[in-house]
């Protein structure tokens, strides 16, 4: 049985775990011929290659480095001959840290780190893949968030950054049309290994540290009544990567937040 993405090639950042890994696995089920995964988590990348073999190529590196993004794109072209979709997904969280808890110094350091990963990393992936995507008339998909449109999904820096993703999607959709479609997926609170920043000493802290408490909180606060898993969002990434099924869609953020954004308070 054929899939929606038969024969395509994708480049996914942050694919070692969480939503990025779930997207990679779903893409493979939908017929993707090859994926290049960029992540600083060498262990997570290793498990992908052990599971899927030659259909996965990996780059262990930092999305803040343009060279790492460029290496991933070159690997896609050399191994698989083309590139159809770039998924910008790698990110860090601020654990809802409010403005009052920062000093001037800690604000500068945290802002530099978080924006470099959550925003510059996306732009680098888009820049590195642009020419190959023009050739394939492909697509770019960024992971947005419920915090892209609402307060309270993160602290001041995370929320600012995710709001900026909306602007990136819209501006790039305009700039790269008609050759490349650019869209986003906006998950709500999802049980992943999303970690904090080095600037705040939170690289070992993740939102899945207490899964039971997370599930309880999300189930109580989400209109659909359940905590989200990475796999819950992957269908939208498939849809947006499919030229046959989303040919006229660009500049859009598809929300997958359990109905959180529908609330007025």
Long-range contacts of 218-225 (CB under 8 A, 24+ apart): 218/188, 218/189, 218/191, 218/258, 221/260, 222/188, 222/189, 222/257, 222/258, 222/259, 222/260, 223/258, 223/259, 223/260, 223/262, 223/263, 224/258, 224/259, 225/258
Rounded average pLDDT over 107-116: 98
- The set of catalytic residues is 158
| Domain spans of the chain, in order of start | 9-253
117-174 pLDDT per residue, tens? 999 999 999 999 999 999 999 999 999 999 999 999 999 999 999 999 999 999 999 9
Q: What is the pLDDT of residue 213?
A: 79
Q: What are phi and psi of 227, to 5 degrees?
A: -75, 140
- For residue 261, name the pLDDT band (cuts at 50, 70, 90): confident
> What is 9-253's CATH superfamily?
NAD(P)-binding Rossmann-like Domain (3.40.50.720)
Give the number of other Cβ atoms within 10 Å of residue 224's Cβ.
15
- For residue 209, name the pLDDT band (cuts at 50, 70, 90): confident
pTM value is: 0.96
């Amino acid at each position: 049985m054929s899939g929606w993405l038969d024969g395509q090639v994708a480049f996914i950042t942050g694919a070692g775990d969480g939503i990025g890994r779930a997207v990679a696995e779903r893409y493979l089920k939908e017929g993707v011929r090859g994926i290049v995964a960029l992540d600083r988590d060498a262990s997570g990348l290793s498990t992908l290659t052990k599971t899927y073999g030659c259909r996965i190529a990996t780059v262990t590196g930092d999305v803040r480095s343009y060279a790492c993004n460029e290496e991933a794109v070159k690997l896609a072209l050399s191994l698989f001959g083309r590139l159809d979709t770039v998924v910008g997904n790698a990110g860090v969280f601020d654990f809802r840290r409010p403005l009052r808890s920062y000093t001037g110094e800690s604000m500068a350091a945290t802002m530099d780190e978080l924006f470099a990963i959550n925003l510059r990393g996306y732009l680098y992936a888009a820049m590195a893949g642009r020419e190959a995507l023009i050739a394939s008339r492909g697509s770019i998909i960024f992971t947005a968030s419920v915090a892209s449109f609402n307060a309270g999904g993160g602290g001041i820096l995370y929320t600012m950054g995710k709001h900026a993703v909306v602007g990136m999607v819209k501006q790039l959709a305009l700039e790269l049309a008609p050759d490349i479609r650019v869209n986003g997926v906006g998950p709500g609170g999802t049980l992943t290994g999303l970690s904090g920043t080095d600037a705040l000493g939170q690289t070992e802290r993740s939102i899945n540290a207490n899964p039971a408490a997370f599930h309880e909180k999300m189930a109580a606060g989400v209109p659909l009544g359940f905590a989200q898993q990475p796999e819950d969002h992957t269908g939208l990434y498939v849809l947006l990567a499919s030229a046959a099924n989303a040919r006229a869609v660009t500049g859009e953020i598809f929300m997958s937040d359990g109905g959180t954004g529908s609330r007025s308070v």
